[in-house]
Amino acid sequence: MDSDRIFQLIDTVVPFEACLYYQVLPLSLEGNLFKLGVVDAQDDSALDYVQRILAYMNCSVTTEPIATEIQRSMLSAYLLHGSQLREPSQTETETIAAPTPKPAPTFPSEAETLLSVPTPSIPAARDRLKPAVDEVSLMSPKLSVLNIEALHLSSPVEILATLPAPQLLQELLGRILLEGIGRLFFERQQLAGRILWSQDGVLKSMLEGIEPLLFQDVIDELKRLTDMPPSRVEHIQQVEVERIYQETHLLLRLRVMPANGGEEATLQVLRGAALRFYEQQQLSTLSRDALRLAQELQRKVNQIRDRTRLAPMPLEGLPALERVVRNVDNQIEALMNQHNLQ
């Protein structure tokens, strides 16, 4: 599978939430032929959803069976891939601003797809996924509460450009936190800034002509919100922080990039089924890392044993090592008990 192509198709045609919900994976788009990987070939709703999207692009769909493990591993890789939080390219944003749609190129731009396709609402979880977990139960008492005071949700979008940076960020967050997977794109142009926001892969609105100082101030506010160092970045930096918003567990993923003498940024909000899937992948990664380290510890202990057999001598670090191993053993036992109770 061409992962770069699949990631691009998730970004532009079939949103991540839809792939997770319908158990599908976009494989390729060549000319007017779209190839879709499906876990359940009998699920007509998945094919119907994708066909409705591609009807606006005059494309036909062919399906190819794929294993559940392949579909989930590819979605996991997508979440960890840098393109998940990529900024819109100038070509895409110019298309968004165009008063009339352009002829569809061989590969449709994200803007054309988002503006022309009425994506159906997607529930946070589905029976075919892992049984839904009460989001409140995922909360940690140490997580900070995200308080948002958006006072202009019903006002024209142009009003936002007149607000100071802290309030402008509050208004933007109020919009992308309404539901689903929200994203903010901060694009720095030569003389001004542009902010776009989307929901579940569907472009919602755009704020143009933002004064450069205000544009940078909003990015700085985002850094403070996510505990990223305030200094200007010299290379791409990304942070992830967990927050509680209206009794819902959220993951905020901020990515900041140097651009045109300043910075650009993207912010993504994960929740519900998408967040649970992401957390499962993170736990799997941590488990593999822990096993690798445990195996390395076992090898080192074996080496110490063999050397002391050849030349017995006191081991100053042995008591400390014993305490560490005992502590790890107690934590593993606690995890096993917790797992058995679930």
Q: Parse the chain into domains and list their residue ranges.
A: 3-116, 135-270
Say how far apart CA 173 and CA 60 lie, in whole Å: 37
Say how far apart CA 115 and CA 318 lie, in whole Å: 65
Q: Which tokens is 167 given?
A: 């309030």
Residue 167: is its pLDDT beyond 90?
yes
- Single out the residue of 149, 221, 145 nearest to residue 186, CA to CA: 221
Q: pLDDT confidence of 45, banded at 50, 70, 90?
A: confident
Say how far apart CA 104 and CA 54 lie, in whole Å: 12
SS (H, E, C) the chain: CCHHHHHHHHHHCCCHHHHHHHCEEEEEEECCEEEEEECCCCCHHHHHHHHHHHHCCCCEEEEEECCHHHHHHHHHHHHHCHHHHCCCCHHHHHHHHCCCCCCCCCCCCHHHHHHHCCCCCCCCCCCCCCCCCCHHHHCCCCCEECCCCCCCCCCCHHHHHHCCHHHHHHHHHHHHCCCCCEEEEEEECCCCEEEEEEECCEEEEEEEEECHHHHHHHHHHHHHHCCCCCCCCCCCEEEEEEEEECCEEEEEEEEEEEECCEEEEEEEEECHHHHHHHHHHHHHHHHHHHHHHHHHHHHHHHHHHHHHHHCCCCCCCHHHHHHHHHHHHHHHHHHHHHHHHC
Strand partners, 37: 25, 64
* Per-residue pLDDT tens over the stretch 1-18: 788 899 888 877 887 877
Place of tokens 């990223």: 228
Q: pLDDT confidence of 222, banded at 50, 70, 90?
A: very high
Residue 166: is its pLDDT beyond 90?
yes
Say how far apart CA 19 and CA 147 lie, in whole Å: 31
Give the residue with greater pLDDT, 116 vs 195. Answer: 195
CATH code for the structural domain at 135-270: 3.30.450.90
Residue 27: is its pLDDT beyond 90?
yes
CA 342 to chain centre: 27
Mean pLDDT of 179-184: 79
Mean pLDDT of 180-187: 83
* Per-residue pLDDT tens over the stretch 116-160: 233 333 333 333 333 333 333 333 447 889 888 888 888 888 888
* Per-residue pLDDT tens over the stretch 277-300: 777 777 877 888 888 999 999 998
